[in-house]
Structure 1
């Protein structure tokens, strides 16, 4: 088995699919649930000012900290408090949250500087993500890494597996048959690791992405991902094809893909099996572990609709996991292995 499908999150085909224009800015389904949406144009226009960016950076120095008006002003390089106040007010609601009113002690209003009206200020989740993107270099960094030996052989052709980085994507692939997987990786994080550490770092990030995909969440917008079993394994001996699952975000249209064997690897029962048999799942690409098992194979249960059982065997024990037509892992069984 090999993971010949890409685990990449391939962005939405239409940049506007993140917002459905026919929907109201505020909606309610008649219960206590309410969703409010702001205009993306107005929201991101708020970032087109260096003072506002510096305010976000100052609040992001310690995201757990609430700063009073005076202390926040001291951390931002702008002398005019009125001008500072204007830019801070513009951020409140979208990227900054105003906390407390000075009467109940909720805000940081003591020696740290207090606040206008005794209020404190902190980043909203959106603000934290913007600051995080600044650190990650998501919008500001370009990086490239020449191929590095990944340290294991291709399961399809026994060629050398290598890893590289370009165009904001890490890439595991076979130097002989070119099969492998591409996936997003923050460009600003590449220089956080020595060159020989990068294969492990990419593998851990792949684990992070696949875990999120397994639980049905989009890596771009955190929307709901629904899957489909697109292709069973097949092809020819000279040109084999892996199984293929495809996942589509119901909000932004992002498409991600994976082999069925990979999805089965990330089921909690399979993860426990690998860990208890001494395999570090989080720091290794799945194909690296599969090659070290006593047995690793599949059985096609149904061609239409596609349905397949994945089997992992090691040290007298095995896991059997059924991958369903909707690209979910259904029945999973861990038991003593019968040779």
Structure 2
């Protein structure tokens, strides 16, 4: 394949693709294949699986899917990548369910006061708040599918792992939703976030700057703490590990350089230069980020006394 992403032709119009699933039988076909061994079935077994006796009707709807969502290979109908993605979107739960989790104890400690945090979930937003000082440490969308087949403790772990992954990937320029290009820029929290209603009160609204992430291909956008860029730098992660801070063994809400606005200093805005300070048992690691939110320099300062 040559050329830019903007030049890649579409085999099917996106709106037409969604309209293909206006008939429930087509979704039933995808789910029948999804449930089958190796995601494939012969025609007769698939027709039986969906419970459609009219072969003509079944054939008509199957043909609408064949070629893009389903492929016929050696007498078997096989669920294709696009078909898997349709199933994935439905199984995420965002279209048809929105569970609520009242505040429960969350693992780890509040980096501000050392108390135990709590976790709650409502309207697709997961929130970790300190039970003592009331600091909202982390808040981010989490698909209802994250609770399926897991204990609540395991779901909280999954929220942490998934949020780290999504923030790191997107702030590195790759959209975790569609794999498109993500534009990464800085924003001053108060006026930039006032236009959006994703949060009642943004958890990082008192940070002097946040990262504004916007996909050039899909509807994804987000605002995340600047300190998350440290987690995507092997140099920084290695330096922190050598100084007693294992970022792989701590929850996002236990990392002050992610949650604490006082660890962030905006040195300039044109071009942007931001200093993020991470405290370790042996001193402070000062990381300078450039206008592209990439690590420019790392300096160390020993502990006083």
Of 19, 24, 30, 1:45 maps to: 19
Aligned counterparts, 1:66-85, within 5 A: 66-85=40-59
Change in CA separation of 1:241 and 1:298 when aligned onto 2, cut-off 3 Å: closer
**Is residue 2:149 matched to residue 1:205?**
no
Segments of 5+ residues of structure 1 without an aligned counterpart are 1-27, 100-106, 108-114, 234-238
For residues 77 and 228 of structure 1, do their structure 2 counterparts lie closer, same or farther at Cα, with a shift above 3 Å needed?
same
Do the aligned partners of 2:127 and 2:138 also contact (CA within 8 Å) in 1?
Answer: yes
Matching of residue 231 in structure 1 with residue 177 in structure 2:
no
Question: Which structure has the highest helix share of the two?
Answer: 2
SS at match of 2:217: coil
Distance 1:78 1:253, change over 3 A: closer
Alignment of 1:128-277 (within 5 A): 128-156=84-112, 161-175=117-131, 176-231=133-188, 241-273=207-239, 277=244
For 1:329, the equivalent position in structure 2 comes to: 294
| 1:240–1:258 distance in 2 versus 1, CA, 3 Å | closer
Q: Deviations over 1:58-91 (max 9, x none)?
A: 2112584443334433433222333222111101
> Could you say what secondary structure the match of 2:22 adopts?
coil
Residues 1-25 of structure 1 show CA distances to partners (whole Å, capped at 9, x for unaligned) of: xxxxxxxxxxxxxxxxxxxxxxxxx
Hey, what does 1:86 align to over in structure 2?
60
Cα distance between partner residues in 1 of 2:21 and 2:121: 29
> 1 CA distance for matches of 2:112 and 2:208?
10
Q: Distance in 2 between matches of 1:29 and 1:151?
A: 48
3-state DSSP of counterpart to 1:192: coil
Aligned to 2:200: none
SS in 1 for 2:173: coil
- SS at 2:67 equivalent: coil
Give CA deviations for 1:12-48 in whole Å, capped at 9, x if unaligned: xxxxxxxxxxxxxxxx9599x6321533332112212
Superposition deviation, residue 138 in structure 1: 2.7
Matches of 2:186 and 2:37 in 1, distance apart? 41
2:272 counterpart residue number: 306
With the length of structure 1 as denominator, give the TM-score of the two structures. 0.69
**Is contact 1:43–1:94 with CA below 8 Å preserved after alignment?**
no
* TM-score normalised by the chain length of structure 2: 0.76
Counterpart in the other structure of 2:80: 124
Aligned length: 281
Give the match for residue 20 of structure 1.
Answer: none
Give the structure, 1 or 2, with the largest relative contact order (CA under 8 Å, sep 6 or more): 1
